[in-house]
Amino acid sequence: MKKQPIFWDYKSSIILDDSYLYHGTDIESAKNILGTDKLLSKDMFDLGTRRNNYFNIGKIFFTDKLKESIKYATRWSIYQKHIIFQLDLSKFKLYKREHLLVNRQGNLFFVNSKEIPLIENLLKIYLLEGGEVKEISLNELKQEKIEYIQDELTEKVIRVRKDLVEKRREMAKLDKWFEDMYEYYAKEGFTKEEINKMFNIKGIEKEVEKPRREFSNIYEHYDYLNNKGLYKVEKNKDIYIVSGGDLKMKSTKTIYPLDGLIDSQYHGTSVWAAKEILKNGNIERINKNIDDEKYNKIFLSPDINYCKTYGIIGGMDHTKINYISDDKNFKQGDYIIFKINLNNHQVYNYITSQEYVIWGKISSNDIENIYLCNDGEIIRELSKEELINL
C-alpha cells in the first residue's frame, strides 16, 4: 500500500495580494523574540528517531488568519498568556504548506529562513489572555509578566524546572565559593597553600594539579571513562550511549556526530565569565579533571529558554555577591547568553533536541550575538565592546 502524505510544501514561492501575516507564540517565547529582535526557525526535532524528517528546518511559519495563529500559539502550552505578531512579509519569498488531514480556517505559509527581523517588519501585536484578544504596544509587551496555567500537570513541570535550577545552583554555588575565595585571598598576598591551611581544605591542590592526559577526540575520552569504570558506555559505531557514573548523571546521554545539521546554538554563562571569554579569545572548560564526564566539552542548546537555566546559575557573578562574608547574599543576577556559529566545529548530540556538545574550544570570533539577561528576561543585545565595558 502506498503511503499517503499528510501534507506537502509548494516548491515555488507564491505572491499574495495581502502579505500581512500572523505568527503566534507563547508569552515567554514572544519576549525572547522581542529581546533578540528575531523570529527564529524552531529546528526542534528528534535526531535520534526521525533523522530523515527535516521538513521544518530553516522554516518560519505564518497564517493569514488571526484565529488560526491563536491555535498555533496555544497548543501544548503551559502559559496563561500568548502573543500574536502581525508582520509585513511583502519583501520575503513566501511558500505554502497544504495539509490533507487538518481542517483550517486559513492558510499556512512559511519563509525559508533561520531568522527574520521583528521590529522592521512588525505591524501589530495582539495579546491573548483569558479567551480575550486585544492589541498592545511593544512597551506593553515588555511589561507583561510570564504566568503559567494553574493545573496539576503545569505545576509539576514548573516544580521539576525549579528543582533542577536549585540543584544546579547549589552545585555551582560551592564551586563559585572556592573560586571567589582563592581570588580574594590571592589578591591579599596569600598563596594557595596558605589558603588551604587557613580553611582546613585538604586535597584541593592535588586535584588542581592532577596530571593531564591528552585525548585526540571525544570518543577517546569516553573510552577512558568506560575502561576506568567511572561510567558505563555502550558503543555502536559512532554512537556512544553513556550512563551511570557519579550522582550528577542520572539520565542517559547519547553521543553521536551531527554532520551538516547544526549551524548556530546558544550558550549561557555569567557576565564575568563572558568578559573573560572575549579577553582570552576562547570559550573553553576550566575544569581539567579528566575523570569528569564534562571534561573538555562545551555545552550548547538550540533552545534559548533552556540556556537560561545555565545563565541564571552563571548569574552568581562574584562581582555582585560576597560569598565569603555573608552566604545569605547568594542570589541570581545578570547573565549572558551567546549565540554561536558552529560551522567551523564538529557538533555532537548530548540530550536529543535539547543539548549539544563541542569537544575542545570555541573561538570568540564564532560568537554571532550577545544578549544581556536577568532572571528569565532578555534585557538587550550587546556588542562585544559593550560587554567588555560592563
Judge whether 154 lies within some domain.
no
- Position 138 confidence tier, pLDDT thresholds 50, 70, 90: very high
Helix or strand run (H / E) with residue 294: none
pLDDT at residue 136 above 90? yes
% the chain with pLDDT above 90: 28
Asked which of 113, 143, 173 is the last residue of a domain, the reply is 143
Over residues 4-63, the pLDDT tens digits come to: 455 667 767 777 878 899 999 999 889 989 988 989 886 543 333 333 345 677 789 999
End-to-end CA distance of the chain: 64
pLDDT higher for 200 or 217? 217
Distances (CA, A) of 244 to 172, 226, 256: 21, 10, 18
CATH code at 34? 3.20.170.30
pLDDT for position 323: 32
- Position 197 confidence tier, pLDDT thresholds 50, 70, 90: low
Amino acid identity for residue 217 in this structure: N
Where is mean pLDDT largest: 117-126, 148-157, 194-203, 261-270? 117-126
Over residues 288-304, the pLDDT tens digits come to: 778 888 889 999 988 88
Judge whether 207 lies within some domain.
no
Gap between the Cα atoms of 93 and 14, Å rounded: 7
In this structure, are 378 and 233 located in the same domain? yes
pLDDT for position 318: 38
Average pLDDT over residues 189-217: 57
Helix axes 152-187, 304-314, angle to 10 degrees: 40
pLDDT for position 324: 32
pLDDT at residue 253 above 60? yes
In this structure, are 240 and 372 located in the same domain? yes
Cβ proximity of 114 and 34 under 8 Å: no
In this structure, are 121 and 251 located in the same domain? no
In this structure, are 232 and 111 located in the same domain? no
CATH code at 255? 3.90.210
In this structure, are 362 and 277 located in the same domain? yes
pLDDT for position 42: 65
In this structure, are 365 and 235 located in the same domain? yes
- What's the sign of the alpha-carbon dihedral 225, 229, 232, 235? positive
Over residues 71-118, the pLDDT tens digits come to: 889 887 888 999 999 999 999 999 988 876 666 667 889 998 888 999
pLDDT for position 187: 63
Gap between the Cα atoms of 116 and 40, Å rounded: 7
Gap between the Cα atoms of 18 and 286, Å rounded: 54
- What's the sign of the alpha-carbon dihedral 27, 31, 36, 37? positive
Lowest mean pLDDT among 14-23, 28-37, 268-277, 327-336: 327-336
Half-sphere exposure of 378 (CA within 13 A, CB side): 26
Average pLDDT over residues 122-149: 92
Judge whether 195 lies within some domain.
no
- Position 202 confidence tier, pLDDT thresholds 50, 70, 90: very low
Give the list of residues 6+ apart from residue 108 with CB closer than 8 angstroms, or none. 61, 62, 63, 68, 96, 97, 98, 99
Asked which of 84, 111, 143 is the last residue of a domain, the reply is 143
Name the burial class of residue 331, with classes exposed (0-12), middle (13-18) and buried (19+) by CB atoms within 10 angstroms of its CB.
Answer: exposed
pLDDT for position 13: 77
Give the list of residues 6+ apart from residue 252 with CB closer than 8 angstroms, or none. 241, 242, 243
Q: Which of 264, 274, 287, 283 is nearest to 347 (CA)?
A: 264
In this structure, are 128 and 256 located in the same domain? no
Residue 361 is part of which domain span? 213-388
pLDDT higher for 245 or 378? 378
- Position 209 confidence tier, pLDDT thresholds 50, 70, 90: very low
In this structure, are 137 and 274 located in the same domain? no
pLDDT at residue 332 above 60? no
Judge whether 375 lies within some domain.
yes
Mean pLDDT of the chain: 77
Asked which of 143, 166, 191 is the last residue of a domain, the reply is 143
Judge whether 158 lies within some domain.
no
Lowest mean pLDDT among 139-148, 311-320, 381-390: 311-320
pLDDT at residue 2 above 50? no
- The number of domains in the chain is 2
In this structure, are 297 and 381 located in the same domain? yes
In this structure, are 251 and 372 located in the same domain? yes
Judge whether 133 lies within some domain.
yes
Gap between the Cα atoms of 293 and 169, Å rounded: 19
Average pLDDT over residues 152-157: 71
Give the list of residues 6+ apart from residue 360 with CB closer than 8 angstroms, or none. 284, 296, 298
Judge whether 316 lies within some domain.
yes
Judge whether 324 lies within some domain.
yes
pLDDT for position 129: 93
Residue whose C-alpha cell reads 500568548 in the numeric block: 82
In this structure, are 138 and 217 located in the same domain? no
In this structure, are 272 and 134 located in the same domain? no
